[in-house]
């Protein structure tokens, strides 16, 4: 389909679901993939499965909602690989409680993960991408956004 040989990618929320599949797909196309997530075990399993079929990946354990962790993670990628070509902001949080069950801090936590964190990661990645003259940032969202709970 296309060739990503020599490219470096970061995928957040890579430990399961769509992030896992995106990581595998990017690796199949030749990218070195930093598989991001909070829990090391699923990332280790994912990277082992990618690497055993000839792909190249490594876990990138961090919490996207922690500004310092995110900065350290992107800096690690740039330091280790000297480049960052693709950022896939895949992490998303949701809370299915009734509206009156929410405290404002609960809502702020969701905004932190779904809006602030991807913005911060994109800004960090763009800084690296601008110095190298190219790069792609892909922000995913959920179909759950427009759904209204009755």
Q: Report residue 65 as tokens.
A: 């909602």
Q: Specify the fold of 8-139.
A: Rossmann fold (3.40.50)
As a 3-state breakdown, the chain gives helix, strand, coil percent values, each rounded to 5, of 50, 15, 35
Is residue 91 within 8 Å of 113, Cβ to Cβ? yes
Q: Give residues with Cβ within 8 angstroms of 106, minimum separation 6.
A: 95, 97
pLDDT for the residue 92: 87
pLDDT tens over the chain, length 150 residues: 689 999 999 999 999 999 999 999 999 999 999 999 999 999 999 999 999 999 999 999 999 999 999 999 999 999 999 999 999 999 988 888 888 898 999 989 999 999 999 999 999 999 999 999 999 999 998 765 555 555
Please state the φ and ψ torsions of residue 48, each to the nearest 5 degrees.
Answer: -60, -40
Q: Does residue 84 contact residue 128 with C-beta atoms inside 8 Å?
A: yes
Closest CA to 144 of 97, 104, 102, 96: 96
Residue found by looking up tokens 């969202």 in the block? 141
């Amino acid at each position: 389909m296309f060739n990503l040989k020599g490219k470096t990618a970061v995928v957040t929320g890579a430990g399961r679901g769509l992030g896992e599949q995106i990581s595998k797909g990017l690796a199949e196309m030749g990218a070195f993939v930093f598989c991001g997530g909070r829990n090391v075990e699923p990332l280790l399993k994912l990277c082992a499965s990618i690497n055993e079929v000839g792909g190249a990946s490594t876990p990138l354990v961090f919490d996207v909602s922690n500004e310092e962790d995110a900065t350290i993670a992107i800096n690690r990628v740039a330091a280790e690989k000297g480049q960052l070509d693709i950022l896939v902001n895949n992490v998303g949080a949701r809370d299915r409680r009734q509206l009156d069950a929410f405290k404002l801090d609960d809502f702020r936590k969701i905004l932190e993960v779904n809006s602030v964190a991807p913005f911060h990661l994109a800004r960090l990645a763009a800084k690296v991408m601008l110095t190298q003259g190219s790069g792609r940032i892909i922000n995913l969202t959920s179909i759950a956004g427009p759904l209204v709970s009755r």
